[in-house]
A and B are shown apart, each in its own frame.
Chain A
């Protein structure tokens, strides 16, 4: 739009044009518009509330953000390949119970953790096999799984909370220290970002969701991609529950649930992941989770009540979705 001649002769207008160019660049990225929203919200809440950018509040905020972001990393991969997992929040509650039982049975805590994650990945495998080979839409498979796992957790726990095992150092590292949970979330984001952008797995996930026939014709094993991403999401759901268990010290059998799952999906979608598949960003999921957290935290500090908060979250998701689809159209990206 601006050739080299106008750049050199622009003079005063140049910095402004450069700013416009940077903004345009940012907005053309899927997570671009939401980064601006996040910055705007932070500025707004800091301006209206002196307690917003304090160490204590940032810790609270980081703890609220961490769980949806970890869940989002799995759901984003599933959304990209045109699937969804509604039952991930149930593994969030189941995993700490399995960890507790395994530890009580005599396993070291780290091994007990591994057992819990293994069980979660097997649940993911089951969801994947049912969805891919029995052709049940994942929406339905995981809806059934949602009730099933809730029942299993309630039965196993007899309705009592689980105490988190482990010594003080492990407990601090795994989640008790103020920013530990957020650092775990950042680590998951970093790994999953590389997986999505820089590995064959990520590329094939995008191809599977973008054009499943083309992916199959190119020889990509689309069943494997889908099943693998179900296993990944379930495992991350369990991991998220374990980290929260270490932070809080105990786990309620009804912890997590659909609430945490919807926050995860919303983080991904607000961050620019196309709900119709074929496109998505992990970093966007992180920013989306931060936006939801900042909204919740900021409005809580301002004393807005919980009922009004849901209205705001709902509206935020709708607005984000509309921009998401509109910007996808502008970038010439429609799912096939």
Chain B
């Protein structure tokens, strides 16, 4: 498949990850294309987060192969994965409350004024932050606001905007809608829809909420005890069917 003219943006084959005696992932495969959004569902301990951390370069798999745009790669670090355009928005969002929105968006990628003093170019960072937020349609009164004063949804939007502004081609979202009210979630759902519509970004989302995931994603993958147990186009399945699969698997595991 890596030889086809239009390879998926990100593909993983036979990923195995062990932590001591425990096999967290036993041969997981996934793929996602540009303009496509993949939802990964499953209970706690199913291996979703481990898979995510392998895709971001945080963990190294014990077996298996990752391909970015058809090229086989072996990530050595998060920064290495980033150099392939893979950006992850973690649940903790990695924002600094005491800093302004635009400083957070440029954290450790600050722009400097020309000259030997290497002073920060606040003006340019502010301008580009406004631009980046406007481009993906995030409405914030001022980029000078401290992040600590924003709501949960706004903070999530800033974290996503930061990932996109740093040239993300493959965006990994860890529970972006968790612990969020309907209105706040609506804000993020709109933002994700706009990113999808651009067609040049592949999105992978980890989630707990089946209904939201089916509505938002093009394709869903169900993970249980370290394996992918079901995969389907979102249109061709339903919450009821997914819950039924989980129940059957659970009963089978209990009988065994």
Instruction: List chain A positions with a Cβ less than 8 A from chain B.
Output: 194, 198-200, 203-204, 206-207, 209-211, 213-215, 217-220, 278-279, 331-336
Contacts and interface: CB of A to CB of B under 8 A. Distances in A.
Nearest to A211: B96
A321 to B, nearest CB: 18
Interface residues of B, number: 23
Contacts of A215: 96, 107-108
Contacts of B95: 211, 214
Interface in B57-95: 78-79, 90, 92-95
A211 B118 contact: no
A332 B118 contact: no
Closest 8 CB pairs of A and B: A332-B149, A214-B94, A210-B96, A218-B108, A210-B98, A278-B98, A217-B94, A218-B107
Given A214-B107, A331-B146, A200 B118 contact: yes
Nearest to A194: B119
A220 B108 contact: yes
Given A218-B94, A279-B98, A332-B149, 10 more contacts: A198-B122, A199-B118, A200-B118, A204-B108, A214-B94, A215-B107, A217-B78, A217-B94, A332-B148, A334-B97
The winner among B79, B90, B93, B108 for most chain A CB atoms within 10 A is B108
B94 A210 contact: no
Nearest to A278: B98
B90 A206 contact: no
B231 interface: no
Given A198-B120, A200-B120, A218-B108, A207 B146 contact: no
Nearest to B162: A218
A198 B115 CA distance: 13
B99 A203 contact: yes
A214 B99 CA distance: 12
B120 A199 contact: yes
B50 to A, nearest CB: 18
B184 interface: no
16 contacts: A198-B120, A199-B120, A203-B107, A204-B108, A206-B99, A207-B107, A210-B97, A214-B92, A214-B93, A215-B96, A217-B90, A217-B94, A331-B149, A332-B148, A332-B149, A336-B96
Contacts of A278: 96-98
Nearest to A204: B108
A198 B119 contact: yes
Contacts of A279: 98
A206 to B, nearest CB: 6
A38 B92 CA distance: 40
A154 B237 CA distance: 80
Contact of A219 (B108, B119, B122): B108
Contacts of A336: 96-97
A207 B99 contact: yes
A278 B78 CA distance: 25
A279 B100 CA distance: 12
B175 interface: no
Contacts of A332: 146, 148-149
B200 interface: no
A211 B94 CA distance: 8
A220 B107 contact: yes
Contacts of A219: 79, 108
A241 B253 CA distance: 73
A209 B96 CA distance: 9
B108 A333 contact: no
A194 B118 CA distance: 11
Nearest to A212: B96
Contact of A334 (B94, B96, B118, B148): B148
Contacts of A203: 99, 103, 107, 110, 120
Nearest to A200: B110
B120 A211 contact: no
Contact of A335 (B78, B98, B119): B98
Contacts of B103: 203
A51 B50 CA distance: 72
Contacts of B98: 206, 209-210, 278-279, 333, 335
Given A199-B119, A200-B120, A214-B107, A206 B96 contact: yes
Contacts of B120: 198-200, 203
B146 A214 contact: no
A204 B98 CA distance: 12
A78 to B, nearest CB: 16
Interface in B119-154: 119-120, 122, 146, 148-149
A336 B94 CA distance: 11
A210 B95 CA distance: 9
A278 B96 CA distance: 8
Contacts of B79: 219
Nearest to B77: A219
A313 to B, nearest CB: 28
B97 A211 contact: yes
Contacts of B93: 214
Contacts of B146: 331-333
